[in-house]
Structure 1
Amino acid sequence: MDSTMVEIDGSVMEGGGQILRVSAALSAISGSPVRIIKVRAGRSSPGLRPQHLSGLQLVSDLCSGTLQGACIGSTEVSLTPGRIQSGKHTADTQTAGSVCLLLQASLPCSLFAERVSELCLKGGTNAEFAPHIDYTVKVFKPMVERFGVHFDCDIKMRGFYPRGGGEVVVRVNPVKQLHPVVLTDRGNITKIHGRAFVAGVLPFKLAKDMSTAAVKTIRKEIKDLYVNIQPLQEKENAYGNGTGIIIIAESSTGCLFAGSALGKKGVYADKVGIEAAEMLLRNIRHNGCVDEFLQDQMIIFMALANGTSRIRTGAVTLHTQTAIHIAEQLTQAKFTITKCDDELSSDSTYEIHCEGSGAVNQNL
């Protein structure tokens, strides 16, 4: 345990909740206390929002830690971690705040517990500005399993903006150390599939319209693959009303990419389908091995892994640069980013290289 408090500027780069999530998780794992100042300073409503607060409280609970400044609107918060504990832990945003962002903060910590951890996460399962729970299960989960991460996710109830009310239960297995990952060969896209859903009292026609528009958009660019986007109506396991679509592309080497969108009042369903399809196409044009949303979520695992990881990707996002900045402050990991110039690369193809810190689970 390192008792020296590390100060993190919460206003740098992306300047949002990601700084809180990565800082808190790495503090819990390393045992180093952190103080985050200028929390979300550049946002229209600076400081901690309910979602950020519930995430920090969950991490503090996981590592038997002490939080200071943990209240709504606070622009300075500190975490002094103790020992990471397994067992059952609950976090409730009490809003439509994303359960997937709660998982981003808590999953890395749970890997370093002594036994299986059970996380009950409540809020929005399909929220704006966050991964959908379908993305977390179908794309994030199989890709992080390459590091040796294993977790199960049971979707008890879907929740949407503005009511929330969703609930997922995640069971996380501990690891001694994480493996490094090399993802540099995308191969060919072999399969495209997805789901377009309506929940609550909304008409099934909206799901069909999203699916049809998405398929048409993809076929303009990818003509030789069958595209299967299933329209679905969810009445039983959804709290409130919502619509959305997620489309997943699989490659011959096991890489996964996605495009997604949520329905909004006043936006035609076909526009929602087209938005998701265009996002997917954008994410496979650069010939990288991860999409723009997985890119930054891989950073914390690369930083903790025991060895050298290399990931080929599209343009490096500000979220990814921010995650790297925090990971290098709180671990011994070293990152470099280089532009790819081989015959398969585009103007925006890069490789993220990381010498991992080799974090060891002292509880095992």
Structure 2
Amino acid sequence: MGKITYKKLKGSQNMRQRLLLATLKSTPILIEVIHADDTLPGLRPHEISLLHLFEKLTDDCVVEINETGTKLKYKPGIIVGGSNLVHDCGVSRAIGYFLEPLILLGFFARKTLAIILTGITNDSKDPSVDTFRSTTFPMLKHFGVPSEGLKLEIKSRGVSPHGGGEVHLTIPTVQHLRATMWTDEGMVKRIRGEAFTTRVSPQLGNEMIYAARGIFNRLLPDVYIASDYRKRLEAGSGNSPGYGISLVAETTSGCCISADTTVSYGEKQKILKARTRKS
């Protein structure tokens, strides 16, 4: 076996894109100076978790990290996919952080991908799992991805800081993707959405729906926002209290425009502590 030639990169920017493209192109990469100037240098917990996820989906993948975590050697393997896979995404980033590269890897796997992801389903930093289900999946049809077998089920909702969410993802394999010229955004014809609460009063969800409808009904009548209220742990409420809403506007050209937001009590406490320190 000959010597492996690594493509050299520097910095921590675009870490997901670098790992994803290296895997799809079977190109070994060497990344140096990863968060080297930070107070805590080296790979972050969510970046290490992403590497573990790539290892689960591929065969013969090799990952080498130096002692300080500032240098990474990544030799991608063959994308296998498979079923009955489970991955804990942790609580430093939401599940949406992992879904973006995971979906693309699943398309080019040898087998249909079926995986359970646990962690934070909704937060203010990453796209929510609702956005992937209501916006990303419908838009993928324009690129030749069949809707049959493409599925995302939310078994449990989890918000920061302690997560506790669980989603079941199924991604079919595709032979090729279709190039699409899509420049016409179109006019909004309907708005759909879902408000959720976990371990808090469902009244908060009702108030969000009422306020959102009060704004959107001034523009168009076709507005429907569903509710997903989970108060008890056995009902899939996760480990932290919080609430939020996810909205998607469907246009006449088949475009989907999404927006979502989440409020968790852990985040509120962090903001209050930061303000107290400043004062």
TM range (shorter): 0.7 to 0.9
Contact 1:190 1:249 in 2 (8 A): yes
Q: Does 1:127 align with 2:108?
A: no
Q: Deviations over 1:85-138 (max 9, x none)?
A: 121333212326311211222222222222212222111111231011100110
Distance, in Å, in 1 between the alignment partners of 2:223 and 2:37 is 41
**Aligned CA distance change for structure 1 residues 129 and 267 (closer, same or farther; 3 Å):** closer
Q: Which residue of 2 aligns with 1:207?
A: 205
Q: TM-score, normalised by structure 1?
A: 0.64
Structure 1 counterpart SS, 2:259: strand
2:79 maps to 1:87 = no
SS, match of residue 162 in structure 1: coil
Give the direction of change, closer, same or farther, for the CA distance of 1:45–1:195 in structure 2 (3 Å limit): farther
Name the counterpart of 1:175. Answer: 174
**1:153 matched residue in structure 2:** 152
Partner AA of 1:186 in structure 2: E
Structure 2: give runs of 5+ residues left out of the alignment: 269-279
1:22-61 maps to which residues of 2 (within 5 A)? 22-40=17-35, 45-61=40-56
Cα drift, residue 81 of structure 1? 1.3
Contact 1:247 1:258 in 2 (8 A): yes
Q: Number of residue pairs matched?
A: 257
Q: How does 1:58-137 map to 2 (within 5 A)?
A: 58-64=53-59, 65-69=61-65, 74-88=69-83, 89-95=85-91, 97-137=93-133
Structure 1 residues 152 and 232 mapped into 2: Cα distance closer, same or farther (>3 Å)? closer
| SS at structure 2 position matched to 1:155 | strand
Q: Equivalents in 1 of 2:6, 2:178: separation in Å?
A: 28
CA distance in 2, matches of 1:38, 1:213: 47
Q: What runs of 5+ residues in structure 1 fail to find an aligned partner?
A: 269-364
The offset of 1:230, in angstroms, is: 3.3
* 3-state SS in 2 of match to 1:105: helix
Partner of 1:274: none
Question: What is the CA–CA distance in structure 2 between the aligned matches of 1:110 and 1:161, rounded to whole Å?
Answer: 27
- String of CA shifts for 1:132-179, please: whole Å, max 9, x gaps: 110011001111232233521122221111111212121111122211
Runs of 4+ in 1 over 6 A off after TM superposition: none
Q: RMSD of aligned C-alpha atoms? A: 2.6
Q: What's the counterpart of residue 275 of structure 2?
A: none
Shift of 1:42: 6.6
Quick check: 1:94–1:165 contact (8 Å CA) kept in 2?
no
Residues 291-306 of structure 1 aligned to structure 2 (within 5 Å): none
Corresponding residue number in structure 2 for 1:310: none
d(CA) in 2 for partners of 1:139, 1:56: 26
What is the TM-score with the length of structure 2 in the denominator? 0.82
Q: State the one-letter code of the partner of 1:105.
A: P
For residues 128 and 118 of structure 1, the distance between their equivalents in structure 2, rounded to whole angstroms, comes to 27
Shift of 1:28: 1.3
Does the CA contact (< 8 Å) of 1:20 and 1:56 recur in 2?
no
Tell me, in whole angstroms, the C-alpha distance in 1 between the residues paired with 2:113 and 2:89: 20
Distance 2:223 2:36 in 1: 43
CA–CA distance in structure 1, aligned partners of residues 227 and 4 of structure 2: 53
Identity %: 28
- The alpha carbon displacement at 1:70 in A equals 7.7
